[in-house]
Amino acid sequence: ISNNRIFYSNTGLSGMYLTKLSPNSLYHSIYYNSHTIYLCWHYLTDAVREGKNQYEKAFGISSQVLFEALYRSEEEMIKFMYLMNSIWNICGKDVVTVFDLSCFTSIYDLGGCTGAIAKQCISAYPETRVTIYDLPKVVQKAKEHFVSSEYQRISFHEGDFFQDFIPEADLYILARIIHDWPEEKNLQLLRKVYEACKPGGGILLIEALLNEDQSGPITSQLYSLNMLVQAEGKERTPSEYSKLLEEAGFREVQVRRTGKIYDAILARK
């Protein structure tokens, strides 16, 4: 208080996480949760009873094709992309460095969205090149808003990785992809990745892991409920992810906790 006037300022934490211009801002994450995800949570009881997401009740649109519902407008798609970008600005470095990935020089980031994970990879591993594989409309917006020409070791591949060809690479990153889908669809995708993978190559899953007895962490449990109301999948335990990878053909499955929200699972062909 000075001369009967009151001045306000952000604390260090709010300045870091709540202001739009901070590189670690969670503004877009909070905005998306408030304006989109929370509307689905209004129908949590129905989701539990029906065992399916609630896009039809929340927004009046069919969710038979999940990402057509998520990307129901250009505005909604860009909001989702900013959400994903803000998450990996906070956790991305940890999940790509918890294992030493320097031996994998050719990486495909399936569903790589804004390129936040790809940027962390090329920063941590100077010899690595990363290709972001995503839907054509996502790739277009990623180029416009998130990945400038200065990122010369990042390229793009347009397509639907469930339907279209997956090129050969040393490593495939699937960050928050497997938790979107049920087991049958995940096995379809993982087997396709296994066939594309170079001998000796690998796959890195990045997910919010549940404890083996599913007693926590609370954030992963809440994310699992969110998968119920918003998607088709769930969060899983390390052994559940390991089983999926092994059924797809992968071996030498290793799990590493980062101490943050997201953890990593690496497996080899």
At a CB cut-off of 8 Å and minimum separation 6, what does 102 contact?
125, 127, 128
Q: What pLDDT shows up at residue 2?
A: 55
Q: Distance between CA 201 and CA 82 in Å, rounded?
A: 31
Asked whether the beta carbons of 111 and 175 are under 8 A apart, the reply is yes
pLDDT at 132: 98
Domain ranges in the chain are: 12-268
CA-atom Rg of the chain in angstroms: 19
pLDDT of residue 62: 77
Residues of the chain with pLDDT under 50: none
Strands (E) located in 153-256: 154-158, 171-175, 202-207, 251-256
Is the Cβ–Cβ distance between 256 and 263 less than 8 Å?
yes
Q: How many angstroms separate the CA atoms of 94 and 142, rounded?
A: 22
CA distance 72 to 128: 34
Amino acid at 45: T
Task: Assign a CATH topology to domain 12-268.
Answer: Rossmann fold (3.40.50)
pLDDT at 8: 79
Biggest CA pair distance of the chain:
72
Tell me the C-alpha distance between 152 and 184, whole Å.
37
Kindly state the tokens that stand for 134.
Answer: 């995503």
- Report how far apart, in Å, the C-alpha atoms of 264 and of each of 51, 85, 156, 222, 238 are: 27, 18, 23, 19, 9
Q: What is the pLDDT of residue 20?
A: 84
Annotated catalytic residue 179: yes
Q: What is the DSSP string of 69-95?
A: HHTSSHHHHHHHHHHHHHHHHHHHHHH
- The per-residue pLDDT for 265 is 98
Q: Where are the beta strands (DSSP E) in the chain?
A: 106-110, 129-134, 154-158, 171-175, 202-207, 251-256, 263-268
Give the C-alpha separation, 88 to 86, whole Å: 6
How many C-alpha atoms does 142 have within 13 Å on its Cβ side?
28
